[in-house]
Structure 1
Amino acid sequence: MRQRFGPTAVEPAAPLWWGGIGLRVVTWLFALGAVVVHDRDYARPALAWVVLGCMAVWTVLTGLVYSREALRWRWRWFVVLDVVVVCGLMLTSPLILSPEQLANVDPLITTVWVAGVPVVAGTRFGGYGGMAAGLVVGAATAVARQAFTLDVARDGVLLVATGLLIGMSATTARKSAAALAEAWRKEAATAERERLARSIHDNVLQVLARVRRRGAEVGGEAAELAELAGEQEIALRALVTTEPSTTGAGETDLRAALQLLASSKVQVAAPADDVLLPARVTAELVAVVREALSNTAKHAPGAKAWVLLENLADEVVVTVRDDGPGIPEGRLAEAEAQGQLGVARSMKGRVLELGGSISLETAPERGTEWEVRVPKAGRKR
């Protein structure tokens, strides 16, 4: 099955659009038969044929619009106009039908042709849109009948129910198509990563591993090179085995983004499932964690660091802890006064802008621990 993406993508609810087109054609033929049967009884038969001709023209026009491949060509304003035109044609019924026909509850000039409107409105706007169109058409039916009878109420219920069911079906189809497209994208990305991982493992990773082993054996300056090679080996392995996935809704996986920060001195612990957040929130949190790790590498070169990600119901919690010497009391205030704004602006400023909170626990020879809490929506609480 061919699937295309972008603004011209195939509409997942296309069968419902075609169903609405077919329904309108069939119901117009029914209206034609009703006009033929009741022609002699109409108060204004000529007007009946004019209205029937307008219905035919509108059926063709809507069919041309609704048969377009991409959803963006099925304009919202045109669907609203469709509701208005159909109701307007139906409201000509009191001018066409004789008083006896209205009293006998004979078919209106549009008959069941109006049933196509809740179908297309539900397909375009979802369940609520379909219900709204059904209510409008039902109200117009009561006006055209010049009475609110049991038959009018029954028709109104059927129109509303039709719009609701079609709308729910269209929404489900689009969500299912989006989920399937995302699954295909992930599968393709996974296959590509596995291919790259095999290639890199056979070449670059083996070289780095050999450099790390030989450097450790030789010692001296070679040991420093071995340590750097080990860090690059870990980072490269994380890069080819982890993908910060992006959804169609503009969300990215914070878990995968943080795992890319792992090294020989940095361990990352995260949930097994994706932690999807708006892309901007993910980028800001990764920047905060990177700044904390940078401070550890700068002020405690030999220290190890741990990054813990917790995915709670309403928020995410990221903890960055190291086993360095800690931050002396008053050092942060002194650094800010000297114009060193790494913590004040890069870390605290980012978190506060996301509507979250950041706290610090540190003491001499007890390391440093940053705890960042950010609501999932990225809005201020």
Structure 2
Amino acid sequence: MSRRFGPTAREPATPLWWGTIGLRVLTLLFALGAVIVHSDGYQRPWLAWTVLGAMALWTIATALVYAREALRWRWRWFVLADVVVTCALMLTSPWILTDAQNAAVAPLITTVWVAGAPVAAGTRFGGVGGVAAGLVVAAATGIARQGFTLDVARDGVLLVASGLLIGMSATTARKSAAVLAEALRTEVANAERERLARDIHDSVLQVLARVRRRGAELGGEAAELAELAGEQEIALRALVTTAPTRHSTGETDLRAALQLLGSSKVQVSAPAGEVNLPSRTTAELVAVVREALSNVDKHAGPAAKAWVLLEDVGREVVVTVRDDGPGIPEGRLADAAGEGRLGVVRSMRGRVAELGGTISLETAPGQGTEWEIRVPRK
């Protein structure tokens, strides 16, 4: 399955793939020179030239695959096959080299050409894949040498290190591209939101503001319409300025979602930066806050005001909802639950419990109500 890192499906680690192709070609030429120099001493020269031909064909095959633009065409199975083919060709060395050449540590038939496999695996699978491929090729080197000598250990360290470094570089490139793409999408969304805000301000918001002022001047039923117009003006301003953004990671900004709940009776205070949480967590927390504000409207009276405070304390998010109403009499929640009204128990406490968080209530007659919701980051 392909990943999109931006407006196109171009693989951010493409330069590393081209580097892998270049490494394969250069090391193949080195292997050709080694065969030419040592062919007279081989016990089976024909096999040496056959293996070299197979190396050339496989170099062409890998170049055709690794030169593809999109990551999805650089198949996982092909990269794994690359490691297997490389090791298989190297393991023909005992049938090609003589005992004297082995004792003199003459180059294996594949020589440094085998370095391309860990590099390709690191580019495709990251640091872990590069290290694993390096270990496999190093083990095959020891088998081909018929013993694990200091030279084998040295080659193994270089193979593992190259796979690790290239793998880390590929991972960093992909992460950086994903972050950049997300930033570009956010910038485009913000620009579009600002454009809509200007258009709405020049039309709808001005009309609502005029209705609110004129209704307040006329009084009576017009004053009620003015109050409704004021509520819609605040809600519309919040919508066009702080619309929550859903990121490609599946997270949503809780700060923006809560600010949409602001009105003439509800004041929302939140950090300056985004508070990104999984979309489900954000939706559940907004539902809890809505239920708390709904209870303020139902039980605290039309003149009551509420305050919503969002705090990001690192490992958890804290949302506080407070009002200046008459408070909840002692035992009232238990009586409501007994009567079958489970708004607080099921809608608020149940939602928070499913998120692995806690919810606490502080209230007293004449002192308002304060809910504190704590949800850990997962």
TM range (shorter): over 0.9
Corresponding residue number in structure 2 for 1:65: 65
Residue 329 of structure 1 aligns to a residue whose secondary structure is coil
- 2:72 and 2:285 map into 1 onto residues whose CA distance is 35
Corresponding residue number in structure 1 for 2:312: 311
How far is 1:4 from its partner? Answer: 6.2
Residue 349 of structure 1 aligns to a residue whose secondary structure is helix
- Bigger drift between 335-344 and 198-207 goes to 335-344
Query: Residue 306 of structure 2 aligns to which amino acid in structure 1?
Result: A
Corresponding residue number in structure 2 for 1:173: 173
Corresponding residue number in structure 2 for 1:111: 111
How far is 1:234 from its partner? Answer: 0.8
How far is 1:248 from its partner? Answer: 2.4
Corresponding residue number in structure 1 for 2:162: 162
Corresponding residue number in structure 2 for 1:282: 282
- The alignment status of 1:366 with 2:367, answered yes or no, reads yes
- 2:334 and 2:79 map into 1 onto residues whose CA distance is 61
Corresponding residue number in structure 2 for 1:331: 332
How far is 1:261 from its partner? Answer: 0.9
Say whether the 8 Å CA contact 1:324–1:368 is kept in structure 2.
yes
CA deviation digits over 1:81-135, x for unaligned, max 9? 2212211111111111111111111110111111111111111121222122112
Residue 293 of structure 1 aligns to a residue whose secondary structure is helix
- 1:275 and 1:6 map into 2 onto residues whose CA distance is 23
Corresponding residue number in structure 2 for 1:345: 346
Query: Residue 166 of structure 1 aligns to which amino acid in structure 2?
Result: I
- 1:15 and 1:341 map into 2 onto residues whose CA distance is 60
Residue 318 of structure 1 aligns to a residue whose secondary structure is strand
Say whether the 8 Å CA contact 2:5–2:11 is kept in structure 1.
no
- 2:153 and 2:159 map into 1 onto residues whose CA distance is 10
Say whether the 8 Å CA contact 1:251–1:277 is kept in structure 2.
yes
- 2:94 and 2:374 map into 1 onto residues whose CA distance is 65
Question: CA 1:7/1:221 → structure 2, altered by over 3 Å: closer, same or farther?
Answer: closer
- Bigger drift between 128-137 and 104-113 goes to 128-137
Say whether the 8 Å CA contact 2:5–2:174 is kept in structure 1.
no
How far is 1:286 from its partner? Answer: 0.8
- 2:330 and 2:73 map into 1 onto residues whose CA distance is 63
How far is 1:68 from its partner? Answer: 2.0
Say whether the 8 Å CA contact 1:7–1:72 is kept in structure 2.
no
Say whether the 8 Å CA contact 1:8–1:70 is kept in structure 2.
no
Corresponding residue number in structure 2 for 1:147: 147
- 2:266 and 2:313 map into 1 onto residues whose CA distance is 23
- Bigger drift between 33-42 and 357-366 goes to 33-42
Corresponding residue number in structure 2 for 1:129: 129
Residue 106 of structure 2 aligns to a residue whose secondary structure is coil
**Identity %, equivalent residues:** 78
Q: TM-score, normalised by structure 1?
A: 0.94
Corresponding residue number in structure 2 for 1:77: 77
CA deviation digits over 1:41-97, x for unaligned, max 9? 111112112212221222222222222222222222322222122111111111111
CA deviation digits over 1:191-241, x for unaligned, max 9? 111111110010000011111111111111111111111111111111111
Across the two proteins, how many residue pairs are aligned to each other? Answer: 375
Corresponding residue number in structure 1 for 2:195: 195
Say whether the 8 Å CA contact 1:360–1:370 is kept in structure 2.
yes
Query: Residue 362 of structure 1 aligns to which amino acid in structure 2?
Result: T
Q: TM-score, normalised by structure 2?
A: 0.95
CA deviation digits over 1:314-363, x for unaligned, max 9? 10000011111112222222222222221111111111001001111111
- 1:17 and 1:263 map into 2 onto residues whose CA distance is 55
Query: Residue 291 of structure 1 aligns to which amino acid in structure 2?
Result: E
CA deviation digits over 1:292-320, x for unaligned, max 9? 11111122232111000110121000001
- 1:100 and 1:28 map into 2 onto residues whose CA distance is 24
- 2:4 and 2:356 map into 1 onto residues whose CA distance is 37
> Structure 2, unaligned stretches of length 5 or more?
none
- 1:295 and 1:122 map into 2 onto residues whose CA distance is 56
Corresponding residue number in structure 2 for 1:182: 182
Say whether the 8 Å CA contact 1:8–1:71 is kept in structure 2.
no
- 1:128 and 1:4 map into 2 onto residues whose CA distance is 22
How far is 1:284 from its partner? Answer: 0.7
- 2:60 and 2:335 map into 1 onto residues whose CA distance is 76
How far is 1:274 from its partner? Answer: 0.9
- 1:339 and 1:113 map into 2 onto residues whose CA distance is 75
Query: Residue 44 of structure 1 aligns to which amino acid in structure 2?
Result: R
- 1:243 and 1:13 map into 2 onto residues whose CA distance is 34
How far is 1:155 from its partner? Answer: 1.4
Query: Residue 127 of structure 2 aligns to which amino acid in structure 1?
Result: G
Question: CA 1:8/1:58 → structure 2, altered by over 3 Å: closer, same or farther?
Answer: farther
Query: Residue 363 of structure 1 aligns to which amino acid in structure 2?
Result: A
Say whether the 8 Å CA contact 1:351–1:357 is kept in structure 2.
yes
- Bigger drift between 35-44 and 368-377 goes to 35-44
- 2:4 and 2:336 map into 1 onto residues whose CA distance is 53
